[in-house]
Amino acid sequence: MADDKKPKKGGILQVFKDIVYGMSSHEMTRHAVRTRASMEHLFILITMGDLLGIPILPPYYSLRLLPYVVPQISSWKRRMLREKDITDALG
Amino acid sequence: MSLKEVFESQPERRYIMFGGKGGLGKTTLSATCAFWLASHGKRVLLFSVDPQASLSDIFQRDIFGKGPVPIMENLWAEEVDADRRIREYQDEIRKKILDMYGFDRVPEEIDNYISAASAEPAMEESAIFDAVVDIIVQGDYDYYIYDMVPLGHALYYLSMAKVYDEWINKITKLRQEMGHYDQVAATMRRQETVEEDKILEELQYIKNRINASSQILTDKRRTAFFFVLVPEEMIILDTRKAAELFSRFDVPISGYVVNRVLPPELRQDNIPQYLKNRIAMQEKYLGEIQTTLGSQVLAYVPEMERDITGLPMIEKLAERLFQ
């Protein structure tokens, strides 16, 4: 940060570039993270569907994956069971 | 071709299954076949995953849930206890969760899910499926003889390999796509992705197991599937239908064995009308079997004078079956 504040030639252009880059990459990252989260929920739905009462093949193997998704289970159920997502309105 | 010639000409066929409706003698023929191979110096594992398995009955000793039990030289028999397998598996999953997250006890919601999973009918089937995969992928016996459950189940079982295969391919692909998004996000936040890789690893493991078993089951070089039938109208019709369904799932049908044929020489004796009628009926359907299946019939097995239990009786039948 201290370096950025030093006045130097083309500084304003550099800052502008950084802002543009930051904005676009931030947007991309946010998009990636959100898509990733949706896919995570989709993935858990496919493998652990019976937690919501939707049995989707084959329980013996889905139990094998269960330990890895334990932390995500509660947020996933909330997302699947609520009617509308507040981020739907924002997005 | 006789059953004996089939085995002698195809030594690389190591996975043998007898299928057919219930009560036609699948277990008897499986045991007889296992006995014959074992007495010719092959190491044979005869196994069943049926909760009402009858291997214990035919060998006249309790082998249920005891792993491979030696029956005679070169012959082992195994009856898988699916319920126990599920229970042990559930405990394994619980323990894994405790170890992974350092919990004192499994969260209630998760624990309920694990318990409820065993109540699903599909659980038992997929557990049985996995038990069979376990047995056949080991490959340390010369022959694996699978004493199958009656037709409908057998078909379900065989189709499962195909369905699971497709299912697992799809979710593995989804998981891989998720990995791409992870990489994008990881350039900003340096997140740990260890868990993700582990899920993919597990999926690959499951995939390999299912692929291995479905490859074995549909490989004509390594697997032989014999249909058992008896000379009766309904059985012939059902067998024909089943054979069509099986070929749709790429199950290699290697031939038919006609069981419970009343010895025609009985006719010369002074026998009651009832028996004469039955012999006449069988002759009619034997003719039908000959015209429709012809050379695909590998053996006609006579109705024996008593039920087949115990090794001496099995030996006697083996002599007839593999003459």
pLDDT at A86: 57
CB contact under 8 A, A61 and B163: no
User: What averages of pLDDT result for each successive group of 10 residues across chain B (323 residues)?
Assistant: 90 89 89 96 92 86 93 95 92 93 89 85 81 85 86 64 76 83 70 63 83 80 91 92 81 89 84 90 94 91 89 93 87
User: What torsion do the CA atoms of B262, B263, B268, B272 make, to the nearest 10 degrees?
Assistant: -20
- Grade residue A2 by pLDDT with cuts at 50, 70 and 90: very low
Q: Is B266 helix (H, G, I), strand (E, B) or coil?
A: helix
Q: How many CB atoms lie within 10 A of CB B5?
A: 11
Round to whole Å and give the CA distance between B199 and B189.
21
Of B113, B167, B171, the CB nearest to A43: B171
pLDDT at B312: 93
Q: Please name the amino acid found at residue A67.
A: P
Which of B68, B72, B48 is CA-nearest to residue B141?
B68
Domain layout of chain A by residue ranges: 11-82
Of A25, A47, A58, the CB nearest to B122: A58
- Grade residue A55 by pLDDT with cuts at 50, 70 and 90: low
The pLDDT tens digits for B128-165 are: 888 888 888 888 899 999 987 665 566 666 676 777 77
Distance from CA of A18 to the nearest CA of B (A): 15
Homologous superfamily assigned to B3-81+142-152+222-321: P-loop containing nucleotide triphosphate hydrolases (3.40.50.300)
Domain layout of chain B by residue ranges: 3-81+142-152+222-321, 84-125, 158-213
Enter the pTM of the model: 0.78
Those residues with Cβ within 8 angstroms of residue B224's Cβ, 6 or more apart along the chain or in another chain = B6, B10, B13, B15, B16, B17, B252, B254, B255
